A and B are shown apart, each in its own frame.
Chain A
Amino acid sequence: MLQRTIRRLAIAFLCLVAGGAKSFELTEIAPGVFAHQGVTALMSRDNLGGIANLGAIVGAEAVAVIDTGGSRAEGEAFLAALQQRTTKPIRYVIDTHVHPDHIFGNIAFRDTGAVFVGHKNLARAMAARGPHYLSSFREAMGALLDDVILVPPTLTVERETILDLGGRKITLKAWRTAHSDSDLTVLDSQSGTLFTGDLLFLQHVPIVDGSLLGFLSVIEELRKIEAVRVVPGHGPAVAPWPQALEAQKAYLDHLTRDLRADIAKGETLARAVTTAGRGEKPNWLLFEDYHTRNATAGFAELEWEAP
């Protein structure tokens, strides 16, 4: 037992050194607004789970962090990089939703004194899914998960909440079930920068872990937000707004159209998911990793609207 613990610690250390050697890039995309681009890949030991885009907004008095990364190691690298850019205290750590690549790094920020902020459903979603995430990502992440503890929000957003960073107010908005059932966006009106979390995917195929129809309707709502640039949950760290929504909308529309046609014909779930929306394949990375799952969840959802 002890031997195994020592071995795990040694592996954890090696993994940290290997990961730590890579520098954590944090780019100032607008005055006082920082973004980090995750790699478009599945979470793994090699990338420290660092697949999601992360961000930070710096006001006159304080800092808000937006998502913390896919492991404690990534969270720590983010914190260190941020402290190179500003000495102001981190007042808020905002989780855009429950998925591991966005929240596993929370633990690295626990001792900063920051208030953890999330959608009203986030704590419930963490409780319901957390243990499963920690066990199911063990194979891909190994010892990197040993020191991940999920940190739930203490400040929750029912609909809309404005946070003041000192001369800079940011607007947090909680959405109906779309990508997940805990999606939250962050808007910095001062710079015109919107952080969507995974309500927007670029290049990385969109993931529907909430509701296909909800996702499509939220896209139309998002479109109305006044901003000039967006930091999506995955893909390039920054993109023009709202044009960045179009590819994702086309994907979700295509999938919905195909699934509805299959359901109307009486096709079975098992067969429909092998064909629906597959014409979108050339447009996306990681298509084979997520597309069939989107089709499966979408079929089960759309079946209820059929006559």
Chain B
Amino acid sequence: MVAALCLSAGAALAQEQKIDPWPGLVTDIFHDRPIASHEGVVALEAPKRAEDAAIVPMTISLLAPGLRAATLVIDENPMPMAAAFSFGEGAGVTKIETRVRVNSYTNVHVVSQTGDGALHSVVKFVKASGGCSAPAIKDQDEASANLGKMKYRELPSENPALREAQIMIRHPNNSGLQMDPLTRAYIPAHYVDKVEVRQGDALIFSMEGGISLSEDPSFRFAYKPNGAKVMRVEARDNQGNVFKGEWPIGGAS
């Protein structure tokens, strides 16, 4: 009886605050342009439940040929636009996987632009699990000590015409929402806000992002090789730091 009372009060409190942020985000991010929701243009793979709310894998598949941009939006997050990807012409990117923080139960949208400029979206609902999983850094000292280190991996590709690779960047991606207990001042936001990945000089993708990306941002992607011998990465953060990495592409002709 008591438990039931408590439960219903909790539910009522939760309902009072429920306003869908998406229409406002369409205005702010996409300037009220019409967004179609056809199947077959872009797809999003997201877990139904965010097991570790600080590391939630999101995979965007670019199904229609020639897509040049895809924007990942976590509707209920403090900074909803998680990552806006632009793909290089001829880069043949078919898939990109990254990891995000999820603050609460939320819709996650991917909006992609086709060659004619039209926007298409898909949406998935993600539950952030409770427990002691805070979308917070697990080891704050280590995160600061390793700032900007990068790692490049080549991975087996399902499609022989494509290659698959992963870029990882050590960065705390501080949210700016945490208060220093002594000074009562907010710890400044510190996050990766731009990444460019190239094979040789040709752009594979660039990304503009924010605090919704996980600590140690990671991008795993499938692309069409152009014969270049090096993978080049340049990442920037909002405090003006620039991090660069360059690796030989294995087995490049």
Q: Are A139 and B10 touching (Cβ within 8 A)?
A: yes
Q: Are A15 and B6 touching (Cβ within 8 A)?
A: yes
Q: Are B138 and A132 touching (Cβ within 8 A)?
A: no
- In the complex, which residues of chain B have a beta carbon less than 8 angstroms from the beta carbon of A143? 6, 9
Interface string of B1-43 (1 = CB under 8 A from A): 0110111011001100000000000000000000000000000
Q: Give chain A nearest CB distance to B17 CB in angstroms.
A: 11
Q: Are B140 and A128 touching (Cβ within 8 A)?
A: yes
Q: Are B57 and A269 touching (Cβ within 8 A)?
A: yes
Q: Give chain B nearest CB distance to A241 CB in angstroms.
A: 25
Q: Is B162 an interface residue (CB 8 A)?
A: no
Q: Which residues in window 89-140 of B have CB below 8 A to A?
A: 97, 99, 104, 128-140
Q: Is B47 an interface residue (CB 8 A)?
A: yes
Q: Are B133 and A127 touching (Cβ within 8 A)?
A: no
Among A124, A125, A138, A295, point to the contact of B10 (Cβ < 8 A). A138
Interface string of A266-307 (1 = CB under 8 A from B): 101110010000000000000001101101110010011010
Q: Which residues in window 131-188 of A have CB below 8 A to B?
A: 131-133, 136-140, 142-143, 152, 177, 180-181
Q: Are B139 and A304 touching (Cβ within 8 A)?
A: no
Q: Are B3 and A304 touching (Cβ within 8 A)?
A: no
- Provide the bound-state CA to CA distance between A266 and B179, in Å: 38
Using a Cβ–Cβ cut-off of 8 Å, how many residues does chain A contribute to the interface with B? 57
- In the complex, which residues of chain A have a beta carbon less than 8 angstroms from the beta carbon of B76? none
- In the complex, which residues of chain B have a beta carbon less than 8 angstroms from the beta carbon of A46? 3
Q: Is A14 an interface residue (CB 8 A)?
A: yes
- Provide the bound-state CA to CA distance between A254 and B6, in Å: 40
Q: Which residues in window 32-62 of B have CB below 8 A to A?
A: 45, 47, 51-52, 54-55, 57, 59
Among B10, B155, B156, B170, point to the contact of A142 (Cβ < 8 A). B10
- In the complex, which residues of chain B have a beta carbon less than 8 angstroms from the beta carbon of A11? 5-6, 9
- Provide the bound-state CA to CA distance between A211 and B214, in Å: 16
Q: Take A124-B181, A210-B139, A297-B52 as given contacts and tell me if A289 and B131 are in contact as well, using a CB distance cutoff of 8 Å.
A: yes
Q: Is A248 an interface residue (CB 8 A)?
A: no
Q: Are A268 and B181 touching (Cβ within 8 A)?
A: no
Q: Are A139 and B5 touching (Cβ within 8 A)?
A: no
Q: Take A293-B131, A296-B55 as given contacts and tell me if A132 and B10 are in contact as well, using a CB distance cutoff of 8 Å.
A: no
- Provide the bound-state CA to CA distance between A181 and B128, in Å: 22
- Provide the bound-state CA to CA distance between A36 and B139, in Å: 30
Q: Take A128-B137, A181-B139, A266-B155 as given contacts and tell me if A142 and B132 are in contact as well, using a CB distance cutoff of 8 Å.
A: no
- In the complex, which residues of chain A have a beta carbon less than 8 angstroms from the beta carbon of B153? 266, 306
Q: Is A225 an interface residue (CB 8 A)?
A: no
Interface string of A94-125 (1 = CB under 8 A from B): 00000111000000000000000000010111
Q: Is A80 an interface residue (CB 8 A)?
A: no
- In the complex, which residues of chain A have a beta carbon less than 8 angstroms from the beta carbon of B164? 266
Q: Give chain A nearest CB distance to B173 CB in angstroms.
A: 13
Q: Take A127-B179, A293-B51 as given contacts and tell me if A304 and B168 are in contact as well, using a CB distance cutoff of 8 Å.
A: yes
Jot down 6 A-B pairs with beta carbons below 8 A, ordered by A.
Answer: A8-B9, A124-B140, A124-B181, A138-B13, A265-B156, A268-B97
A contact residues vs B (CB 8 Å cutoff): 7-8, 11, 14-15, 17-18, 42, 45-46, 99-101, 121, 123-129, 131-133, 136-140, 142-143, 152, 177, 180-181, 207, 209-211, 214, 265-266, 268-270, 273, 289-290, 292-293, 295-297, 300, 303-304, 306
When A and B form their complex, which 10 residue pairs have the shortest distance between CB atoms, in order from nearest?
A266-B155, A296-B52, A127-B181, A292-B51, A177-B139, A293-B51, A132-B134, A18-B2, A129-B134, A270-B57
